[in-house]
Amino acid sequence: MCRLAAYLGPQISLEHFLLNPGHGLMEQSWAPKEMRGAIINADGYGFGWYSDQREANTYVNPMPIWSDVNLNSLGRSLHSNLWLANVRSATHPLSVSASNTMPFLHDDLLFMHNGFIDQFEHVLRGRFRQELDPKIDAGITGSTDSEHLFALVRHTLKNNNVSSLEQATILTCHKIQEWLGEAKALLNFIISNSQQIIVTRHAINGHCPSLYINTDEPQYPDGILIASEPMTDADGWQPISEHSLVVIEADGSYQSKDI
């Protein structure tokens, strides 16, 4: 399990997004309030952003966020209109390593996942490998269910005559449900293609992990925030509906639909 956050709006610094909020991911790494199945997020962290040329970038560190001596200088130096970040609590028996630390990146796509898939290690990993395009499968460098989910989204986008990232994301959730039977999966995603952010709050045979949206945060005027837990004390934080997908556009508009 992890804690996730994202921002889309006018350009801001990494510091303003990641370090300034009173209950931002720094505090959520050691004092989460709504996380099930773990009490701390000390198995790495990472963030992703887009340059002015819309090139996707990531920074990942398998150590706890509070131990990174580079973060303060990075926070002051980096600016973007779109940010994704997470702090990680690794699901046993998955290892702690840079290759297993999100966000995952491919071309212009950034991907994060909060949750898990039951029976992934011993049963479903093989189903993924059978399903995936060989080139996409060969690009998997880590061992997490999260990276395999990202690969399945890309496979669906490429091979299923799917016209949009949101449709590929919904079909990915449906495919996992088809494979699981009575097993459990928690599927909170945040995905970006530089133009929009796709968010899911979803679970199969289980309770959806917490996820919130704020479209009226005074500290982030004209911006939209997504987070596993409210990052500020402002009143604008609203829970995203369970079993839904939200599409956030660069112009500040957004829409929600059922998965």
CA distances, 79 to each of 10, 12, 49, 199 (Å): 10, 5, 8, 22
Catalytic residues: 2
Q: How far is Cα 166 from Cα 13, in angstroms, rounded to an integer?
A: 27
Strand partners, 186: 116, 203
CA distances, 23 to each of 1, 14, 18, 181, 233 (Å): 18, 15, 10, 37, 8
Tokens representing residue 215 in the block: 């479209």
